[in-house]
Amino acid sequence: MLTFLLILVILIGNLVTRGVMRYPFTEKQISSLLDEERCKSPDIVVGLQWGDEGKGKITNALADDYQWIVRYQGGSNAGHTVYIDGEKFVTHSIPTGILNPNCKVVITHGCVVNIPEIIEEVKLLEKNGISFENRLYLSENAHLITPEHLKEDKSNQVKFGSTGKGIGPAYRDKIYRAGLRVKDYPQGIDEDKIIVTDTRKLLRDAIYKGDRVLFEGAQAVMLDIEMGTYPHVTSSPCIASYAPAGSGLPLSFFKYSSVVGVAKAYTTRIGTGPFPSEIKNKRIAKNIQFTGKEYGATTGRLRKVGWLDIPQLKYACEVNGVSSIALTKLDIFSEVDYEIKIATEYKVNGKWTTDYCDEPESIRYESFSAWPEITETDWDGLPDNLKKYVDFIEDSINVEISMLGTGQNRNQLLYL
Ligand code: IMP
Ligand code: MG
């Protein structure tokens, strides 16, 4: 009789708990949620060169399919420029998803924040008609950039050509366990507009609920503290695999994530450090800088320009696990009067290779002819020379190119 009662209690207990899922979910439960598409893996947009590839534009174009856009590293050193109907918007600390009216945006603990600067950014965007009603969430654990950090970074700016935004000193203090966090911020933050909260829980619940989340990377792999051209890098990890750690979401959530890597049709770099495929011809470099508006959105500095670089891009795709590439600024080579080049191989220790290194002995290039102005909006109608250029890149790195940027406006984007 006693055994029978015991079995009955266990059976009823099982029935009660089976239907109810409690945090933390088990690996199996997460998997079944992902498979049922109730709980979706977040996707990630990352830069594949030295930053300024047009991540803002790509994020903005993709964002309508997501409820949450998340910054997981860096700070106001970023400058994301987006043109909507000819109007220019620049964001620094705030994710560009703020420009998509249906998105909520999150700045996680992986970021460093300069509060007065974020308040200014909010004001400026509001002036341009952007609403901040229940839309901007800031992690209480994000580290603060203090006036001392700013002073120090500005006086030391020459060393790595930093943006002078206090990023390095703020991350240094974080790592040295001497940092201050948003929860330590002395003056009040207008919580009507900047909602300070536990963004880990916020995103966890959003994903459990089935909301779609898009992580928006800043800077890029070659500026990544771990994987970039150290020490000429920024002070945070910029690659896709930092999205889980920088937000506190478990790896199991990322089972079906797509990583959209953004690359320009050429390369640019601000600041100091290795830049193997830099264009030595001053006339060509100037032409690209001018037509491509290659000066920093944050600092106004002129960017150095280089040819698209296969060993570099291959490295970037490997490190980020890129699912597909958005190739931007193809219009910059429309109707140019010079040959366009792509770096295809590096000579290292006397041998030719497609593996990236910071200082190859020499570089092999392939030449391409320019194409006419791009007016068509589907692949078949595109100029043959442009198609050759895109196919060559795709074949060389064996990663699908899924979007082409053909002009600065948000609608000048071709989906392949
Ligand atoms: P920091 O991030 O300000 O410390 O600067 C370190 C290096 O990263 C410098 O060479 C900067 O020019 C570069 N950098 C930082 N943020 C960006 C960006 O958003 N785009 C391009 N370069 C950047
Ligand atoms: Mg930028």
Tally the C-alpha atoms within 13 A of residue 43's C-alpha that lie toward its C-beta.
18
Q: Which range among 149-163, 167-181, 342-356, 378-392 shows the weakest confidence by mean pLDDT?
A: 149-163
Q: Tell which one of 150, 154, 159, 163 to mutate to probe ligand 1, the residue whose CB is within 8 A of the most ligand atoms.
A: 163
7 pLDDT higher than 90: no
Better-scored residue on pLDDT, 19 or 293: 293
Q: Is the CB of 80 under 6 A from ligand 1?
A: no
Q: Is the CB of 54 under 6 A from ligand 1?
A: no
pLDDT of residue 8: 53
- pLDDT tens track for 150-192: 999 998 877 778 999 999 999 999 999 999 999 999 877 888 8
If you measure from the C-alpha of residue 297 to the centroid of ligand 2, how many angstroms do you get, rounded to a whole number?
A: 6
Residues in the chain, overall count: 416
Q: Is the peptide bond before 231 cis (omega within 30 degrees of 0)?
A: yes
Specify whether the CB–CB gap between 80 and 45 falls below 8 A.
no
Q: Which range among 11-20, 231-240, 304-313 shows the weakest confidence by mean pLDDT?
A: 11-20
Q: Is the CB of 220 under 6 A from ligand 1?
A: no
Specify whether the CB–CB gap between 98 and 91 falls below 8 A.
yes
What percent of the chain has pLDDT above 90? 81
Q: Tell which one of 219, 227, 235 to mutate to probe ligand 1, the residue whose CB is within 8 A of the most ligand atoms.
A: 219
pLDDT of residue 120: 95
Give the closest residue (by CA) to ligand 1 atom 16. Answer: 77
Q: Is the CB of 219 under 6 A from ligand 1?
A: yes
Better-scored residue on pLDDT, 310 or 84: 310
If you measure from the C-alpha of residue 78 to the centroid of ligand 1, how many angstroms do you get, rounded to a whole number?
A: 7
Question: What is the average per-residue pLDDT within 16-38?
Answer: 72
Residue entry with tokens 């029935």:
15
Q: Cα separation of 405 and 295, whole Å?
A: 18
- pLDDT tens track for 248-285: 999 999 999 999 999 999 999 998 999 999 999 999 99
Q: Is the CB of 165 under 6 A from ligand 1?
A: yes
Specify whether the CB–CB gap between 150 and 164 falls below 8 A.
yes
Q: For 254-270, give the DSSP string.
A: GTT--EEEEEESEEEE-
pLDDT of residue 101: 96
Question: What is the average per-residue pLDDT within 399-407?
Answer: 96
- Is residue 360 packed enough to be buried (19+ CB in 10 Å), middle (13-18) or exposed (0-12)? buried
pLDDT of residue 9: 53
State which ligand 1 atom lies nearest to the alpha carbon of 162: 5
Q: Which of 35, 65, 80, 395 is catalytic?
A: 80
pLDDT of residue 3: 61
Q: Is the CB of 270 under 6 A from ligand 1?
A: yes
Better-scored residue on pLDDT, 386 or 8: 386
If you measure from the C-alpha of residue 269 to the centroid of ligand 1, how many angstroms do you get, rounded to a whole number?
A: 9
361 pLDDT higher than 70: yes
Q: Is the CB of 51 under 6 A from ligand 1?
A: yes
pLDDT of residue 2: 57
Question: What is the average per-residue pLDDT within 61-86?
Answer: 94
Tell me, rounded to whole angstroms, the distance of Cα 368 from its chain centroid. 29
Mean pLDDT across the chain = 93
Name the closest ligand to CA 96: 2
Q: Cα separation of 359 and 27, whole Å?
A: 44
Instruction: Please confirm, yes or no, whether 80 is among the known catalytic residues.
Output: yes
Q: Which range among 14-18, 228-232, 265-269, 326-330 shows the weakest confidence by mean pLDDT?
A: 14-18
In this prediction, residue 299 has a pLDDT band, given cuts at 50, 70 and 90, of: confident
Q: Phi and psi at residue 199, in whole multiples of 5°? A: -75, -20
CA dihedral 95, 98, 102, 108 (to 10 degrees): 30
State which ligand 1 atom lies nearest to the alpha carbon of 270: 12
Residue entry with tokens 């797509």:
258
Q: Phi and psi at residue 358, in whole multiples of 5°? A: -70, -35
pLDDT of residue 206: 95
Question: What is the average per-residue pLDDT within 235-244?
Answer: 98
